[in-house]
Chains A and B, each alone.
Chain A
Amino acid sequence: MKWETVIGLEVHTQLATKSKIFSGSSTAFGAAPNTQASAVDIALPGVLPVLNRGAVECAIKFGLAIGANLNRVNVFDRKNYFYPDLPKGYQISQLAKPIVEGGALKIVVGDTERTINLTRAHMEEDAGKSLHEDFHGMTGIDLNRAGTPLLEIVSEPEMRSSAEAVAYARALHTLVTWIGICDGNMQEGSFRVDANVSVRPVGQAEFGTRREIKNLNSFRFLQQAIDYEVRWQIETLEDGGRIEQATVLFDPDIGETRMMRSKEDAHDYRYFPDPDLLPVKLDEAWIEAVRAALPELPAAMQARFQNDYGVSAYDAAVLTGSRALADYFEAAAKACGQGKLAANWVMGELSAALNRAELDIAASPVSAAQLGTLIARIQDGTLSGKLAKQVFEGLWEGAGEVDAIIEARGLKQMSDSGELEKIIDDVLAANPKSVEEFRSGKDKAFNALVGQVMKASRGKANPAQVNDLLKTRLQN
C-alpha cells in the first residue's frame, strides 16, 4: 500500500519583549533561579495580571505579516491543569477568540513552491522550568520563565513530508526573526515546534489518527522525529496494528519517539474566559501604525529579487533566509549590478566559507561592498572566476581591498593580446600532436590546448579570449 503523510505544526515562539506578558518582570535569559519571578509570576494569593502592550504588538505584526485576519476583539482564557512549573494552576491563553486567525506562508522545497495555510496564532504565557537533577530525590522549580510571552502559531495539516515540515518551520523562523518579534534562539527555547503527524493510504479522504511530537528544538530533530514517526506509524498499520491518539517525545540520542501520555489520560482543561482580564480591543490606528512600520517581508522580497535580479525562485527563497542575508545579497548585487552572479557568490563561495568558519552572515569578514567590487572585477574582465576565488581568499583573510589584493598578488587577468598570442604560439609549437588531432576532427584536442595556454599564463589569461584567439590561429 502507498501511504501519504499528513503533518501540521504548532510552534511556540517566545516574543522579544523586555518584560513578561502579565507582569513587569524581566524576560532576560539565564538569570539565577527565581530572581526574575515576581509576585504575579509565582502566583501569590491576591495578585492580578496586566497585559503587556508589547506582546500584543508582536502578535499584530505577525498577523499582518502572514496576511491573516486580526480579531479586533480577542479574549484570554484560562487553561486549567496542575503542574509544578505552572504556578496558578492554569495557563492564561486564548482559545475561542485568538488574536490572529488564518493567513498563509509560502515555502519552497526543491523546485516546488507551496503555500501552507495557518489556522491561528494566539498569545499565551510560558511556564517555568522543572530541573530534574537530584535534590535528594526532589525536583527543583525555577519560575523565571513563567509568564514569558508566547505566540503559539498553528498551521493547517497541509504538509506532506518531513522536508515540507522543515521548510515551513524554517520559513516561519525566518519570518518571526525578520519582523523582530522573536530572537529565534532554538537552544534557549525561543522557538519550539510540536508536530502533529498521521499517515493515510493515498487517495483516502479522511485523516489518519495523529500523534503529537512535543517540543522539538532543532530543524534536524524535527526532520528525524517525523521520519521516525512516519516509519513507525506505517509499520504499525502494515502489521495490522492501530494508531492511538497520543502525545510523544522525541529522544535525539536514540532517534526514536516514545509515548508521553495517551488519549485516555489527556487533560480536561476546563477552558473559560479569564475573569481577571477584559477583552482586548485592537484599534485601527494602532494596526495601521504597526503595518506602516513593518519591513519589506520575505515573500515580497523574493518576488522582487526574481524580478529585479533575475534569480530563480529557489535562489530567492534561500537568499531571503534571513534579513541579514537578504540585505547582504542586495547590497552586493547593487554594488556590482550583477544579480545572478552575486546570488551565485553569496550562496556559493561565501556561504561555504561562513559554514566552515561557523559564522553568521552578520559576522562575515567579507563585506557586501567588497564582494560587489570583486564581482565587478569579474564582469569587467580584470579577473577570471578562478582568480576571483583567490582574491576572495585574500578578502576573507583581511588582506585589504579587492584592487589592492589583485595588485599585490599579481592576479590581474592577462588582457594584452600580444602577450597572449605569444603564449599561444609557444603552446602550438610545443604540441604539434594536439594540433594534428584537432585538424583531423577531434574536438577534445582543442580543450587540451586551451588548458595548456591557461597553464602557461598561470591562470591569468581570459579563457574567452584564449578560445577566440586559438580558434582563429588553428583555422588559418
Chain B
Amino acid sequence: MSLSPDDVKRIARLARIETSDAEAQATQAQLNSIFDLIATMQAVDTAGIAPMAHAQEVYQRLRDDAVTETDRHAAFQAVAPAVENGLYLVPKVIE
C-alpha cells in the first residue's frame, strides 16, 4: 500500500490543510512509512470479531430535558478572532 501525491493532496484537502506540492512530496514519504507500519495489521483474521469502539461496555447515560445554561456569549466572544453584534464573523459564505 502506498499513497500517491494526489492521495496526499486529497486528504489535505479533506482536512482543510493547505499543502504545497513540495510539502505533499515530503509528507507522502513520511505517511508511506507510517502506512507500512499500519499495514501489518491487515494480515490478521478478524472474522467474527466485534469492533471495539469504547474502553468500557456501558451504555449512554441520559440527561433530563432541562435548560441549565445561561448566556455567556460575552465571555466566549472575548477570545474570538472577529465578532460584531454578537455574531462571529467569517469571510463571506457563498452558497
Interface positions of A (Cβ within 8 A of B):
17-19, 23-26, 32-39, 42, 44, 50-56, 73, 82, 84, 130-132, 135, 137-143, 249, 260, 268, 270, 273, 275, 277-281
Instruction: Report how many residues on chain B are interfacial, defined by Cβ distance under 8 Å.
Output: 33
A311 to chain B, nearest CB (A): 38
A34 near B14 with CB under 8 A, answer no
B18 interface contact, C-beta 8 A: no
Interface positions of B (Cβ within 8 A of A):
14, 16, 53-54, 58-69, 71-73, 76-77, 82, 84-93, 95
Besides the known contacts A34-B88, A139-B93, 17 further A-B residue pairs in the complex with CB atoms under 8 A apart: A19-B69, A24-B68, A26-B69, A33-B73, A35-B86, A36-B71, A38-B72, A51-B60, A51-B61, A73-B59, A84-B93, A132-B93, A135-B84, A140-B87, A140-B89, A249-B95, A279-B60
- Give 20 A-B contacts (CB < 8 Å), ordered by A residue: A23-B69, A24-B67, A26-B67, A32-B86, A33-B73, A36-B71, A39-B76, A53-B64, A54-B64, A54-B65, A138-B82, A139-B91, A140-B89, A141-B88, A260-B95, A275-B54, A277-B60, A279-B59, A280-B59, A281-B60
Which residues from chain A contact B87 at a C-beta distance below 8 Å?
Answer: 33-34, 131, 135, 140-142
CB-nearest residue of chain B relative to A76? B60
CB-nearest residue of chain B relative to A279? B59
B83 to chain A, nearest CB (A): 9
Most buried by A among B59, B60, B73, B91: B60
Which residues from chain B contact A42 at a C-beta distance below 8 Å?
Answer: 76
Which residues from chain B contact A34 at a C-beta distance below 8 Å?
Answer: 73, 76-77, 86-88
CB-nearest residue of chain A relative to B66? A19
A19 near B67 with CB under 8 A, answer yes
A39 to chain B, nearest CB (A): 7
Which residues from chain B contact A44 at a C-beta distance below 8 Å?
Answer: 76
CA distance A61 to B84 in the complex (A): 41
CA distance A130 to B14 in the complex (A): 22
B71 near A55 with CB under 8 A, answer no
Which residues from chain B contact A260 at a C-beta distance below 8 Å?
Answer: 95
CB-nearest residue of chain B relative to A131? B87
A254 to chain B, nearest CB (A): 16
CA distance A159 to B91 in the complex (A): 41
User: Provided the pairs A39-B76, A277-B60, A278-B54 are in contact, do residues A138 and B69 lie with their beta carbons within 8 angstroms?
Assistant: no
B65 near A18 with CB under 8 A, answer yes
Which residues from chain B contact A38 at a C-beta distance below 8 Å?
Answer: 69, 72
